[in-house]
Structure 1
Amino acid sequence: MTNQPAAYARRLNTWDAAMIVIGGVIGAGIFLTPATVARNTGSGTEVLILWAIGGLLTLAGVLCYAELGARRPQAGGIYVYLREAFGLLPAFLFGWTMALINYPGSVAAVATMFARYLCAAIGLPLLYASPVAVGAIVFIVGVNLFGIRAGALIQNTFTVLKLAALALLVVAGLILADGNFGLALSTDSTRPVSSWAFAGALLPVLFSYGGFHYLNDLAGEVRDPQRTLPRALGLGMGGVVICYVLANLAYLGGLGHAGLAASEAPAADLMAKLFGPHGATVIAAGIACSTFGYCSIAIAGGARVLQTMGADGMFFRAAGRIDARTRAPQIALLALGAWAIVLTLSGSFNQLLNYTTVGEWLGHVFGIATLFWYRKHFIDDPAPYRVPFYPLLPLVFVITVFGVIVASAINRPGDAGMSLLIIALGVPVYYGWRWLEGRKAV
């Protein structure tokens, strides 16, 4: 009798899954990005409209991911959908860009941000930021080596803490507003804004809503996935949209539109205005919790993509193994963590992330596009969940996000060109890897 390779265990319930969605989306963006959006708008009303539009567009994408996850509840997310719908090459190019560059790059960037905010909160000099960031990555990888339940415990704790920080921020803004939002929502005559600038302000909004796909990367470990995935994605993302709109209302109420547009750190400025220096320290601790929680999800999700690629022979075969006792992709976790540490110490992560942004969003476009393939080729298959208003919602998401990609490429052609070059370099790597795998099989 031959031993069957270990597989993932379905240990995540609806609460765990919803916390992954919330934790994967809410990082540091909502504490910083609203100022960028305000600088490209002419009134507080426009700010709130942009965050509402971004939320609705993201919810459209989330509903599409809910059907994809319910149809293929396996580890690997977009990689799996692309592999089945369009073949190994597109799937490899996505994995090449995301699992080898974007995931570890985002972990390095956010871990560094976590370390800086933690140092600010506890009064450590910033020269300790790099070792603290490395320590955070080592700790998160170490916890996840023991399996998804251990990782979920850390994740749930820090997601609750980041929601508490946002709640405190909202309360502070409402107190400062004292029921008067007229000035905050009125038009700022000193800041005339063109329609192009208004449309461009949607870019940072959508980027702040990104990260909802991590649950699909972990779908192989979700209990009753056909029911749990749609519920968790809908509940989690709906909660994020409410939090984001309320947070922006708080910024506008406490700082006003002009004050928000002039701020470099709106969350700290808002808290300091009400509570003094101690308020800024408290929100720094809250942002540290938020960024730490994001790193935990990115490491767990990225490792599952690497593991799936390894099992397909598209990465080192050892990375495709799942530990029989913990049911964790331990080698993939160690590989991702080690590479994230290298990027952290090198300081090159910000440039890499800029280079792979277009690739990440192209992955979302083609990932959602696989839904049309599934609907065509599995038309008679029972589907426990179907995205409403099909094909309108997926079309709106695909067209809008593609428009965002084009606008981003026009705005930063160098970064977009490097992103496309990185994707193109994956083509010879793919064929070279297939050739080596063929040689091993002989």
Structure 2
Amino acid sequence: MSPPLEHEAGVPSGTSGGGYSRRVGLFSGVMLVIGGIIGSGIFLNPSIVAQRVHTPALTLGAWLLGGGVALIGAFIYGELGQRIPKAGGSYVYLRDAFGELPAFLNAWGMLLMIATGAIAAVAVTFANYTLALTGLADGYRFPLAVGAIVLLSGINYFGVRPGALTQNVFTVLKLVALAVLVGAGLLLAGASPSVGTTTPPAPPDSIVLALGAALVPVLFSYGGWQQTNFVAEELVNPERNLPRALLWGVIGVVTVYLLANLTYLRTLGAEGLAASNAPAADALGLLLGPTGRTFITAGVALSTFGFLNLVILVSPRVYQAMAADGLFFPWMARLHPRYHTPSAAIVFQAVWAILLTSTGTYGELLDYVVFADWLVFGATAATLFVYRARERQGQVPRVTYRVPGHPFTPLLFIAAALYVVVGSTASNPLNALKGTLLLGAGVPVFLYWRKRREARATAQVSGTDVVEGPSVPEQPVRSAVSGKRGAD
């Protein structure tokens, strides 16, 4: 067996070699948090914020305010992760606090369109930037996108260690690209001909409404920290390291985002930023010429590739937890006996994501469920009140990591999540309706699998077996509900 990450134990005791292995240390956890948040958004989205608030101060204020909300989210998920350091993250919290149906619908949405659609979309984005960087013909777009999905799925199939190492490398590379952008902007922006040549823009008529509108793209850009909780069972000492990774990772991203926006504003000005379709490329191109544009194009390609790896790495843990509860195909619950990964779930995810890529439906699907991420964030934050109530009643032990400012900070986070959901729904009600119907289609699927589970339980009690298909030498890992733990 290869040496574990961060010099820690590999397969935990009590798993008989069939559970998740703790291979992800604190540094890798921080890289997962940063890599899960920073994709291509910071290179592109700041122009939308500038369009809505107009002035440099309000632009930075919107990103700072969004960072505060993200930090509260990190505190919330840190406490939840310490309470239940199990694979599946929000799926586990929702199931234990509110029941199996909302948890299943979360996992169903991820598998059907949210995670797999994101994989398809990000893979195509990576391919587009690669084509721009290399000058290859458009015909290579699909093979590049599919090749990236297959390559990264293969890496993560063979263990969380190679997946985490890949994530570390590409997260560091995207941070280097952003460091060059920020360094050039702060050091050379004074020489830019665009700085100081325009009249300072007037503030919006209603600052409160403008900031509220700007928060929607800002909060979407900050989303992603929660994905590290999906691999909690594979973190070394998760009760301690998961909250620290979330906190340090989000603080790092907030710092990077603020510095990047300061660079855009110093280089392009507020009006130039609002008018730009690619602020990172425009800013670095203005400062360093064609070399700068080429460099940032490579940086975005690397960033999207790293984000793609992160989604491929963490999402199958949710499907595995769902299947381990008897609510999906039983073979999806099995972990590879050697690599300790949800190998079947990884393959299933890759096949479905490639299908979405080939049909081109991923864009529409993501538009339909754009509100779902923050709906889950808000619902997950609400589980904290359930756990705190159980703690007061002595039903669960008290944890050492506490969300500061409770209950006000979680309520503020829930309000922000609801604002994003309402704003996204109001901006396109038809898409929201379609997304709700797609998510609602999971209800009969849930009822079917629950009935199958009850039938299997009845068959076992009566001494008969329900045939689920050919057996394979991979071992199922039950979730916390069954009392069997994959990694302790």
TM-score in terms of structure 2 length: 0.87
Letter of the aligned partner of 1:206 in structure 2? L
Letter of the aligned partner of 1:283 in structure 2? I
- Alignment equivalent of 2:415, drawn from 399, 407, 414: 399
**TM-aligned CA deviation for residue 338 of structure 1:** 0.9
The superposition leaves residues 301-351 of structure 1 with CA deviations (integer Å, 9 ceiling, x where unpaired) of 111001111111111110100112111110010011111111111111111
Question: Which position in structure 2 is the counterpart of 1:281?
Answer: 294
Distance 2:114 2:157 in 1: 21
- Alignment equivalent of 1:418, drawn from 421, 426, 434: 434
In the alignment, is residue 44 of structure 1 matched against residue 60 of structure 2? no
> What pairs up with 1:80-159 in 2 under 5 angstroms?
80-159=92-171
**TM-aligned CA deviation for residue 184 of structure 1:** 9.5
> What pairs up with 1:18-417 in 2 under 5 angstroms?
18-178=30-190, 183=196, 187-189=200-202, 195-379=208-392, 380=394, 381-417=397-433
Q: Does the CA contact (< 8 Å) of 2:370 and 2:424 recur in 1?
A: no
Distance 1:240 1:80 in 2: 26
Letter of the aligned partner of 1:140 in structure 2? L
Distance 2:426 2:243 in 1: 35
**TM-aligned CA deviation for residue 406 of structure 1:** 1.1
RMSD of aligned Cα (Å): 2.0
- The structure in which a higher percent of residues are helix is 1
Q: Does the CA contact (< 8 Å) of 1:227 and 1:384 recur in 2?
A: no
Q: Does the CA contact (< 8 Å) of 2:195 and 2:269 recur in 1?
A: no
Distance 1:422 1:318 in 2: 24
Distance 1:413 1:372 in 2: 30
The superposition leaves residues 208-254 of structure 1 with CA deviations (integer Å, 9 ceiling, x where unpaired) of 00011110001010011111011100000000000000000000011
**TM-aligned CA deviation for residue 370 of structure 1:** 0.5
Distance 1:182 1:391 in 2: 45
* Structure 1: tracts of 5 or more residues without a match: none
Partner-residue secondary structure (3-state), 1:257? helix
Partner-residue secondary structure (3-state), 2:400? coil
**TM-aligned CA deviation for residue 415 of structure 1:** 1.7
Distance 1:64 1:96 in 2: 23
The 3 A distance-change label for structure 1 pair 193 and 267 is: farther
Q: Does the CA contact (< 8 Å) of 2:174 and 2:300 recur in 1?
A: yes
Partner-residue secondary structure (3-state), 2:241? helix
**TM-aligned CA deviation for residue 424 of structure 1:** 1.7
Distance 2:444 2:239 in 1: 37
Distance 2:46 2:199 in 1: 17
**TM-aligned CA deviation for residue 419 of structure 1:** 2.0
Partner-residue secondary structure (3-state), 2:320? helix
Distance 1:416 1:176 in 2: 44
The superposition leaves residues 264-309 of structure 1 with CA deviations (integer Å, 9 ceiling, x where unpaired) of 1111111111222221111111001100111111111111001111
Distance 1:121 1:179 in 2: 27
Distance 2:129 2:74 in 1: 30
**TM-aligned CA deviation for residue 34 of structure 1:** 0.3
The superposition leaves residues 345-384 of structure 1 with CA deviations (integer Å, 9 ceiling, x where unpaired) of 1111111111112222111111111000011112341303
Distance 1:72 1:248 in 2: 36
Partner-residue secondary structure (3-state), 1:357? coil
**TM-aligned CA deviation for residue 5 of structure 1:** 7.5
Letter of the aligned partner of 1:131 in structure 2? P
Distance 2:297 2:315 in 1: 27
Q: Does the CA contact (< 8 Å) of 1:42 and 1:192 recur in 2?
A: no
Partner-residue secondary structure (3-state), 1:387? coil
Distance 2:197 2:409 in 1: 33
Distance 1:251 1:239 in 2: 19
The superposition leaves residues 19-78 of structure 1 with CA deviations (integer Å, 9 ceiling, x where unpaired) of 000000000000000011111112011100000000001100110000000110000000
Letter of the aligned partner of 1:385 in structure 2? Y
Partner-residue secondary structure (3-state), 1:218? helix
The 3 A distance-change label for structure 1 pair 103 and 185 is: farther
**TM-aligned CA deviation for residue 145 of structure 1:** 1.0
Question: Which position in structure 2 is the counterpart of 1:12?
Answer: 24
Distance 2:206 2:50 in 1: 10
TM-score in terms of structure 1 length: 0.96
Letter of the aligned partner of 2:201 in structure 1? D
Distance 2:135 2:254 in 1: 33
- Alignment equivalent of 1:434, drawn from 432, 450, 464: 450
